[in-house]
Amino acid sequence: MEAHNSQIEARQPHSRLPGFGGRDEKRVAKLLVAPGQLLLAFIVLFPAGVAIYIGFTGWSPTSGDDFWHAYRHWHWFDGYWEALTSVTFWEAMWRTVLITVVCVTVEAVLGFALAMLLVKNFRGRGLVTVFFLLPMMVVPAVSGFIFFMLYQVDGPVNGALSAILPGVVQIEWLQNANVAIWTVMTVDIWQWTPLMFLIFLSGLAALPEDQVNQARILGAGFWQQLRYLTLPMMKLIILIALIIRGLEAFKMFDPIYLLTRGGPGEATTNISIFLFDETSVATRWGYASSVAILVLIFVSIAGYWAIRPIERAQEETLEELAGAEARAAGAGPRIEEAIEAEAQI
Amino acid sequence: MAEIRLEKLTKHFDEVRAVDGLDLVAEHGSFIALLGPSGCGKTTTMNMIAGLERPTAGEIYFDDFPVSGLGPEKRSVGFVFQNYAIFTHMTVYENLAFGLRMRKPRPPKDEIDREVRAVARTVGLSEQLERRVTRLSVNDLQKAALGRSMIVRPAIFLLDEPFSNLDASFRAYMRAELKRIQHEIGQTMVYVTHDQVEAMGMADRIAVMDRGQLQQYGTPDELYNRPENRFVANFIGSVLNNFLPVVPEASGAGVVVRVTGTGSKPIDVSDRKVPLAERAGAGLPLTLMVRPEKVRLVGPDADEALVRGSITAIEPLGATDVIHLRLDGADIRSVARPDAPLRVGDNVGIAFEAADVHLFDDETEHAIR
């Protein structure tokens, strides 16, 4: 009994709410945060839940049933099976991956090169930097339309090429099935290289100058500095930039819709355009939902692999911080070591 | 080994003259300290020697070869930065091996390995080679930075305040280590510091700098005993120096100065060459400097007492005590043995030899000898 009392006394000072002890306090805390958590759950879970639900049905808004009654069209995994066995779906996936890999790679290389050029100080650097950032600030609908005009067969791009090259250049930028997908990529590269550039510029500017200078003094040339110092130190930033841009490019919609609507034929149909066609044109919402869930699963797996190196890099950073702390705390015993070492001389 | 020669070396940052017409020669295998307060241009000078900054004017010669057109990678210098600039994403081994791996053509693996282990032994990091540098103590970081520069056997070794982040005892240890290493490898070393004790203890010659200009270049002994100007006199010395205003007077054939204060006696300074006699006629003031170590305390009425004062504070430093004294016109300090029978409030006589007196022109601040 006595022991029990002392326990209560020991707890008393920690209780922040007078009148609520122990378990009661926890209950109050839970009640207080509940509304926020419910809202969050609603925002995240409700749409996902609806998508999963509809994904198991062959429901369409033109079927006469509202989506509550989609279960009347229940067919379990038929939608998923249809997607997995559909050539159109896999072609759209392949194009999506191609667009993502090419766009992100080109943007990263160009952005990095630009950042390397502009990280050094020179007259008018601010102005040049802003100039290179402009494409990013253009509304995608506008840039899409501009490029739509530029890439007409009798448009300015062919006009400019005709001026340089012999003969009249008449490339069918948007009409040729083999060319159109690359044309679409140029728009994304034009618009989003600046974002890469901006991220890399800030990363390069934050590199420890003394380490770079030390590497130069130790004889590292430009490429050696890049390979052994700049890239390893920028690893985390580069990974994050690639993931951000990768996810965006994977979902690319506006330039394709404005330039080719996924055509000619299906030559530029990526997964976004494919889903758009299934929902808006074919109104097969049940099928579109199954495809969307499938894509989500694929992206989640890819994302998991992409994020692992970031977590590892973060652990290293934490380790570094812990090391610095240990150094600050561990100075004491080392003094004695040093004194001993000195005494031996 | 190499001789470093700076000729009229100048660096301007916009309007600021960081380094202004610096002339300096560091001989083969010598140990030179660049000493001065922060902002005096010593680090900028180092950066120019290393090739990290381009001089605005003037030239740097390594063994009569002008180098200011060469990048840092072509100069064969070693540089230890104040914050060590250790490559944080590498292990200790990789840090040490870096300089060798950058060589074209890259030396064979076993040769690099041999060199890395040899250098690790020299600096005392053999046990830590496979560790990530983020796990090292500050003291070991310092050793790694030193080793990483040593491994490429640079002709010239530059160190920018390398010990300022270390705790006091380890600093003393590293000072001795560095002198030993320099003795072993015989490179020309240039060492930047704002700590005059460090400079005096390690360097063969010290260049004292202030506001981008060289104030004096000489051995520690010269700087201590024959300061060229008031700045050097003030900067060198472990206890705050004594500066007193005096007026020269004609006395028979010679010249004397008198410290203002009770019972003041003349000090004969006739041996100074500079036209003191003329100044004496005009009554132009001078500044007298005498180092606290040279000030003796005697009885207030003793013959040798040049002026009288009272003790205001006693600062025990262990081996010696610093005695703070109040004269009529000024505060001065003296160094006494801790067993001297002195108490705060005592009236004492203050004595020093005329030979220990340094006189400075108030206008130019130059020494009058």
pLDDT at B269 over 60: yes
Confidence of residue A334 (pLDDT cuts 50, 70, 90): very low
Task: Quote the pLDDT of residue A329.
Answer: 53
Task: Quote the pLDDT of residue A342.
Answer: 47
Do B170 and B259 belong together in one domain? no
Do B182 and B318 belong together in one domain? no
Q: Of B226, B256, B274, at which residue does a domain stop?
A: B226
Say if B116 falls within a structural domain. yes
Do B66 and B25 belong together in one domain? yes
Find the chain B residues whose C-beta atoms sit closer than 8 A to any C-beta of A. 50-52, 71-73, 75, 77-79, 81, 83, 85-89, 98-99, 101-103, 132, 134-139, 148-149, 152, 167, 169-170, 172-173, 176
Region A39-44: what's the mean pLDDT?
89
Region B134-152: what's the mean pLDDT?
86
Average pLDDT of every residue of chain A: 82
Which of A80-84, A168-172, B323-327 has the lowest average pLDDT?
A168-172
Do B198 and B290 belong together in one domain? no
Q: Which amino acid is at B163?
A: F
Do B30 and B155 belong together in one domain? yes
pLDDT tens for each residue of B170-186: 888 888 888 887 887 77
Say if B232 falls within a structural domain. no
pLDDT tens for each residue of B56-72: 988 999 988 888 888 88
Backbone Cα Rg of chain A? 29
Find out whether A30 and A40 touch, Cβ atoms under 8 Å.
no
Q: Of B173, B193, B226, at which residue does a domain stop?
A: B226
Q: Which residues of B touch A210 (CB under 8 A)?
A: 81, 83, 85
CA distance A201 to B227: 50
Q: Which of residues 230-289 of A touch B (CB under 8 A)?
A: 232-233, 235
Task: Quote the pLDDT of residue A191.
Answer: 92
Q: Give chain A's domains with CATH numbers.
A: 36-85 (no CATH), 98-286 (1.10.3720.10)
CA distance A342 to B117: 23
User: What percent of chain B stands above pLDDT 70?
Assistant: 96
Task: Report the CATH number that the domain containing residue B321 is assigned in CATH.
Answer: 2.40.50.140
pLDDT at A96 over 80: yes
pLDDT tens for each residue of B89-121: 888 999 999 988 888 888 898 989 998 998 888
Q: Which residues of B touch A334 (CB under 8 A)?
A: 137, 139, 167, 170
Do B185 and B99 belong together in one domain? yes
Query: Mutate which of A217, A227, A236 to test chain B, going by most B C-beta atoms within 10 A?
Result: A217
Please report which residue ranges of chain B form alpha helices under DSSP H. 42-50, 92-101, 109-123, 138-150, 168-185, 196-202, 220-225, 230-235, 276-282
pLDDT at B230 over 70: yes
CA distance B164 to B82: 7
Which of A11-25, B17-31, B319-333 has the lowest average pLDDT?
A11-25
pLDDT at B84 over 90: no
Do B266 and B222 belong together in one domain? no
Between A and B, how many CB-CB pairs are < 8 A? 106
Say if B236 falls within a structural domain. no
pLDDT at A218 over 80: yes
DSSP class of residue B165 equals: T
Confidence of residue A8 (pLDDT cuts 50, 70, 90): very low
A9 interface with B at CB cutoff 8 Å: no
Do B278 and B348 belong together in one domain? yes
Task: Quote the pLDDT of residue B280.
Answer: 60
Say if B321 falls within a structural domain. yes
Do B28 and B164 belong together in one domain? yes
Could you list the residue range(s) of the whole structural domain that residue B142 is in?
A: 4-226
Task: Quote the pLDDT of residue B277.
Answer: 61
Partner residue opposite A233 with nearest CB, options B77, B89, B103: B89
Task: Quote the pLDDT of residue A333.
Answer: 44
Say if B234 falls within a structural domain. no
pLDDT tens for each residue of B301-319: 888 888 888 899 888 888 8
Region A198-214: what's the mean pLDDT?
90
pLDDT at A323 over 50: yes
Do B72 and B137 belong together in one domain? yes
- SS3 labels along chain A: CHHHHHHHHHHHHHCCCCCCCHHHHHHHHHHHHHHHHHHHHHHHHHHHHHHHHHHCECCCHHHCCCHHHHHHHECCCHHHHHHHCCHHHHHHHHHHHHHHHHHHHHHHHHHHHHHHHHCCCCCCHHHHHHHHHHHHHCCHHHHHHHHHHHCCCCCHHHHHHHHHCCCCCCCCCCCCCCCHHHHHHHHHHHHHHHHHHHHHHHHHHCCCHHHHHHHHHCCCCHHHHHHHHHHHHHHHHHHHHHHHHHHHHHCCCHHHHHHCCCCCCCCCCCHHHHHHHHHHHCCCHHHHHHHHHHHHHHHHHHHHHHHHHHHHHHHHHHHHHHHHHHHHHCHHHHHHHHHHHHHHC
Region A322-329: what's the mean pLDDT?
60
Task: Quote the pLDDT of residue B274.
Answer: 61
Task: Quote the pLDDT of residue A100.
Answer: 93
Confidence of residue A189 (pLDDT cuts 50, 70, 90): very high
Task: Quote the pLDDT of residue A99.
Answer: 93
Confidence of residue A245 (pLDDT cuts 50, 70, 90): very high
Do B173 and B279 belong together in one domain? no
CA distance A184 to A336: 68
pLDDT at A338 over 70: no
Higher-scoring residue by pLDDT: A197, A340: A197
pLDDT tens for each residue of B192-226: 988 888 888 888 999 999 988 889 999 999 999 89
Say if B235 falls within a structural domain. no
Region B76-83: what's the mean pLDDT?
88
Task: Quote the pLDDT of residue A7.
Answer: 47
Distance from CA of B52 to the nearest CA of A (A): 7
Partner residue opposite A218 with nearest CB, options B83, B152, B169: B152
CB contact under 8 A, A334 and B170: yes
Partner residue opposite A218 with nearest CB, options B98, B137, B139: B98
Confidence of residue B241 (pLDDT cuts 50, 70, 90): confident
pLDDT at A4 over 70: no
Do B202 and B247 belong together in one domain? no
Distance from CA of B113 to the nearest CA of A (A): 17
Task: Report the CATH number that the domain containing residue B136 is assigned in CATH.
Answer: 3.40.50.300
Q: Specify the number of domains making up chain B.
A: 2
Assess: ipTM above 0.85.
Answer: no
Say if B141 falls within a structural domain. yes
pLDDT at A83 over 60: yes
Q: Of B194, B226, B258, at which residue does a domain stop?
A: B226
- Reading the block at residue B290, the tokens are 């005498």
Say if B345 falls within a structural domain. yes
Give CA A32 to chain center in angstroms: 34
